[in-house]
Chains A and B, each alone.
Chain A
Amino acid sequence: MKVSIPKEILADEHRVAATPKTVAKMVKAGISVVVESGAGLESCITDEEFHQAGAEIAVNVESLLNEADVVLKVQPPGLNESTGTHELDMFQKGATLIGVLQPLINHDLVTKLAERRITAFSLDCLPRIARAQAMDVLSSMSTLAGYKSVLLAANALRSVLPMLTTAAGTLYPAQTLIIGAGVAGLQAVATAKRLGSVVKVFDVRPVVKEQVESLGAEFIDMDVDQQQAEDAGGYAKEQSVDVQQKAHELIGQHIKQADIVITTALIPGKKAPILINEEMVQTMKIGSVIVDLAAEQGGNCELSEPGKQIIQHGVTLIGLVNLPSSLAVHGSLMYANNLANFLLHVYDDQQIAVNLEDEITRQTIITHQGEVLHSGVQEVLGLGKTAETS
């Protein structure tokens, strides 16, 4: 079985879907691996290193994709400017694609995958079970995003983060407000604490209070009933109107003293909730910074713009996207590991086994042999078929 790893064509994507370590792992399992020349350069991996690990290096991307049984990617397939062809059109019909496809949003992509009879697995749909933890890309990438967000904020802030009492005066610590205590939020808490900032955290789920406090930060209590706040997978749900109102008030209260605000609130498959409106930004201190990690999904702040760093009302709004890509060395390391673990899970004797009894396969498979199998996607596309997915 041949697995190919092309160079990512999206301009700001510096990661690659394999590392020499994962290549060696795949080769050991009897898979032959081909990597496009230069694919790993922006992650500091040379062709030579891939080759040493057992991969073949391909120069021509068309033949690379054409001959592949399985293609591993970071970004969803798109239009390759240099050849003028869509990546998917270069795939063999019936090949397998594994990556993060965001199928609930990328409708056209899903349709095209079905047309090309591609067996597509999207790792952002993994079930949150213990066995799948080693494949959890969302967790890996959120960790990096959370970490990086603090560095970006600290860099944009014109003060230091920790408290320093010096002969030249006392520098008071920066106040950081983190909204959303998921993986990204918690990592941001840890990073901000390490840099010496005073950290407060807001989240609608009462269960994270203990987790936040275990990292030494203060939790802003909301008095919300646990049932309302969390869904079965532990993600925050959309809240009722009066809960949203209360959240607004509390955030508005605390945001006035914040030097750094990092927002991480996402709702799977839907637009991100607006938690900071223009009015609230106007009450913030001049020189303070907001890092909006949800910018790409609509943003938690009304004023942030995806992909940009701007200043409004004296406040720096950072809406930069794809933060894991800026940490390409570890981004690729973690992503490649997640991918390889998944691949080896569905790999069986020179083939990809599509076993719908297996919860992991069932939840991540988007299309197969021309049909859309993912129930969530079916709903969104209005296909109305019933499948065995939960």
Chain B
Amino acid sequence: MSENLLIEPAYLIAAVLFILGIRDLSSAETARRGNLLASIGMFLAIVGTLLHADIIGYQWIIVGMIIGSIVGAVMAIFMPMTAMPERIAIVNGLGGAASFLVGISEYYRQSAEFFLNHQFKMGVVGFEVLLGGLTFTGSMIAFFKLKGLISGTPVTYQGQNAVNIAWLVLMLAIIGYLIIVPTTPVLFYVMMVMAVMFGVMFVLPIGGADMPVVIAMLNAYSGLAAAATGFVLSNNVLIIAGALDGSSGFFLSILMCRAMNRSIGNVLFGAVGQSVAAPGISGGGDDGQPQSISVTEAAGMLLGAQSVIIVPGYGMAAAGAHFAVRELADLLKSRGTSVKYAIHPVAGRMPGHMNVLLADANVPYDELVEMDDVNPEFPETDVALVMGANDICNPVARDSAGTPIDGMPIIDADKAKSVIVIKRSMSPGFAGIPNKLFVAPNTYMLFGDGKLMAEQLAETLNL
């Protein structure tokens, strides 16, 4: 029994470390330390659990931990910078699967009378399975969408939101029923299957570009599932970590939506009843959906680039981002990256618009290159950074006929090895047509205010 005396302090310290870890993750200078603290906390929680009196057989545990560690490490090591959300999606799904399985295990082993006497536990087991199941399949769908194995286009049908809500209500009703009458295992297994299906149903109608927000939400759900497990097992560290995870995931997804200038309702439920895919633009990406990345990933791409060409447009002017852009360019240059600006003859809303602003920001004239001189350089350029430009780099003008911009020469940004587009949203430019560049396979959209994004990229590069 002396072991139990060690467990509670271990859990306590673990919880403290989680809290400190998340706090540190919120600031650029201490982020790495935060991750380390959280991992130490996890280690303590594991050790503490292993000392738990209930555990008597270690063979399953040891084998399981070894296999899990190897797979986890492999996934982490062999992962390209731009596939971060995908990896996070998978591991999140696995976390949900774990809660799901533990919930089933609990239900299976306890008799009906036990649950009659511990109705709260029944409820919590139900939630554990519900949340765990939907997180598992939801995350897998998110992964497939991000990887392009499933079309990123929202899959919608009439009345879908109503069906989803009804489905959810039904599952909750089953849990409610089981709390009162725990002697109907059939219902439990039915709900289990429903939960797994619900994950799919919930994520399918959300566009591929919004997957990062979905993952943050699912992260929150897997946290809640862990908290539920904590209630079932009367384990405090599970409750604390799960609640921390749940609420931070939830609010993080709201923050991410705000940064994209949309409400969370719009992201999760908005595609129903609308056609989101751009008509008439085929090819490009796997299905016409833009790939969105975060500041972190964009900074990573810029860090790895030997040559960057910045393509400024009216958006940069409207955002007043030219000073931040120059700072970003200076940082890149100080690392040996070559930086040029591709100035389209009609960029902006007046002749010389870009020149005025860039001169104001003290960008040397010799870094400004006109369209015909800079276009041949794009195929050898690592990253084309499109700052609020739209029509002037829309390949549709070059490759298709019959559009308002037909015949207008453009900046061949799409020919660069990778393209990062900084823009507030997917709204069209002056010509009012969708931009094929935004859905190209080597293009990554960084949604946000131009000035803010440029400043944050600069800050990241400065770390």
Residues of A within 8 A of B (CB): 129-131, 133-134, 139-140, 143, 183, 186-187, 190, 194, 210-211, 213-216
Contacts and interface: CB of A to CB of B under 8 A. Distances in A.
B350 A134 contact: no
A19 B345 CA distance: 20
A215 B316 CA distance: 11
A194 B356 CA distance: 9
Given A130-B346, A130-B405, A130-B407, 15 more contacts: A129-B404, A130-B404, A140-B351, A143-B350, A183-B351, A187-B350, A190-B350, A190-B353, A190-B356, A194-B356, A194-B359, A211-B318, A213-B318, A214-B353, A216-B360
Nearest to A139: B351
B376 interface: no
B406 A130 contact: yes
Nearest to A183: B350
A131 B314 contact: no
B352 interface: yes
A211 B350 contact: yes
Contacts of A211: 314, 317-318, 349-350
Per DSSP, chain B at the interface is loop
B407 A186 contact: no
A131 B391 CA distance: 12
A214 B408 contact: no
Contacts of A194: 356, 359-360
Interface of B: 314, 317-318, 320, 345-346, 348-353, 356-357, 359-360, 391, 397, 404-408, 431
A187 B350 CA distance: 7
B406 A131 contact: yes
B389 to A, nearest CB: 14
A296 to B, nearest CB: 22
A133 B371 CA distance: 15
B351 A130 contact: no
- Residue picked from B320, B348, B349, B431, most chain A C-beta under 10 Å: B349
A134 B345 contact: yes
Given A129-B404, A131-B407, A214 B317 contact: yes
Nearest to B392: A130
A183 B351 CA distance: 8
Nearest to B319: A214
Contacts of A131: 406-408
A296 B407 CA distance: 35
Nearest to A207: B349
8 contacts: A130-B397, A130-B408, A131-B408, A139-B351, A210-B318, A214-B320, A214-B348, A214-B357
A293 B150 CA distance: 60
A190 B431 CA distance: 25
B404 to A, nearest CB: 6
Interface centre among A139, A140, A190, A216 (most CB of B within 10 A): A190
Nearest to B431: A130
B356 to A, nearest CB: 4
Nearest to B349: A211
A91 to B, nearest CB: 31
A211 B351 CA distance: 12
Nearest to B397: A130
A273 to B, nearest CB: 22
B121 to A, nearest CB: 59
A143 B352 contact: yes
Contacts of A134: 345
A364 B260 CA distance: 44
A167 B359 CA distance: 30
Nearest to A360: B407
A216 B361 CA distance: 12
Given A183-B351, A187-B350, A214 B406 contact: no
A190 B407 contact: no
Nearest to B316: A214
A191 to B, nearest CB: 9
